[in-house]
Amino acid sequence: MLSLGTKIAGLARQRRRWETLLRSMPRTQSLARDFDPAFDRLTEVTGFGSNPGALRMFEYVPADPQPALVVVLHGCTQTAASYDFGAGWSTLADRHGFVLLLPEQQRANNANNCFNWFSAGDIERGRGEAMSIRCMVEKMIVDHGIDRRRVFVTGLSAGGAMTSVMLATYPEVFAAGAIIAGLPYGTATNVKEAFESMGQVRARSARELGDLVRAASPHKGPWPRVSVWHGGADPVVKSKNADEIIKQWTDVHGLDLAPTSTERVDGYPRQVWRNPAGKSVIESYTIPAMAHGTPLATGPSDEHVGVPGDFLLDVGISSSYHIAKFWGLTGHPRAVPIRRSESASIVPAAPRQHRATAGTSSAAGDPIGDAPKPTSPRPRLIDVQAVITHALKAAGLMKS
């Protein structure tokens, strides 16, 4: 068994490597430092259940909403509002009428504001952050009359990896998901494995990866449709992770690893996997020269949404729009004004107003009780990982 000192040294090396990569990546005007609260369109919701992951919940409900829900999970260093603004989801909600749920991490749970996609206590059905997000989904379904057949989830980076978690642990809840610069489900259950999965990408068989999803819930199908997006030059989460995600979900859907068809969309390759009925159940976009982030296309078209910034990259294709299209949410767009916000930037906004409402019970069989205050950090068991984290902070190797 490795000594504590050896574990600390290994983690320190991995962390230095990734922090160096993040610092070396080209930066645009930062959407994480100078957020103008005027562009925060979200409303905070409380009273959404037991919330064992101690997350915050935000919503956006357009005028005359349709009974469809999109869950949007931000990346590290971002907030719900900053990612919504940068990726353009509330603009799409205005144009097409679907409702948004935007969970938000708290720094009390993760110092870099990442969803804990690598923590065993947060990535299992009925536990931690996965359960908190499930509670929020149920709240939105009940409050807004959402069609349970039209619930979707997407996220970037740690939010993309958490999207994998939600699709695996609650596959009966989601019709489809979109994983952007993320990782397959189940490839990490601690910090060390997380760094290794991001950078070394140990290849697994399709069956092994598919078994991780099948073991995550009692569900036997049908399975969610999946859209996968990744930059070919991503130095943070290696693009081989996209290949592993495809292996995982083609196995779950019982499909061959070779795509059914390929094409180019906005100049970029798109691969499609269809089931025996001819329905597209998996798609994959690779942006060859793109680094770590969400692909954007800005401009006056209905297909162009979002504002470039750190990890929000204008490469001429709008992932948000094409994801919504893949899910069947872009028919009959509404005429709404285009928001002119190119000069704006994003950091956590001033506190928004809470909309306290009663808890609900889950129709899917998971208990949802009364919620504690969402700003209360969840209790943590003392374990070896906590000792390692404390030691890294004390040594100045991990930021507080």
| Residues with a known catalytic role | 157
Read off the tokens for 109. Answer: 């749970």
Say how far apart CA 328 and CA 281 lie, in whole Å. 12
- State residue 71 phi and psi, 5-degree precision: -95, 125
Say how far apart CA 237 and CA 188 lie, in whole Å. 13
Phi-psi region of 328 (alpha: psi -120 to 50; beta: other; left: phi over 0): left
- ∠ CA 65-147-175, nearest 5°, is 110
**CA distance readout (Å), 200 to 14, 115, 174:** 11, 21, 30
Say how far apart CA 220 and CA 255 lie, in whole Å. 16
Sign of the four-CA dihedral 73, 78, 83, 85: positive
Residue 130 parent element (H or E)? helix 128-144
Say how far apart CA 366 and CA 116 lie, in whole Å. 21
Nearest partner of 322 among 299, 297, 358, judged by Cα: 297
What's the DSSP call for residue 39?
G
Q: Are 180 and 157 in contact (CB under 8 A)?
A: yes
Residues 6+ apart with CB under 8 A from 308: 28, 29, 31, 86, 296, 298, 314
**CA distance readout (Å), 168 to 180, 209, 303:** 16, 11, 30
How many C-beta atoms lie closer than 10 Å to residue 341's C-beta?
Answer: 16
What's the DSSP call for residue 120?
G
What's the DSSP call for residue 309?
B
Say how far apart CA 397 and CA 19 lie, in whole Å. 10
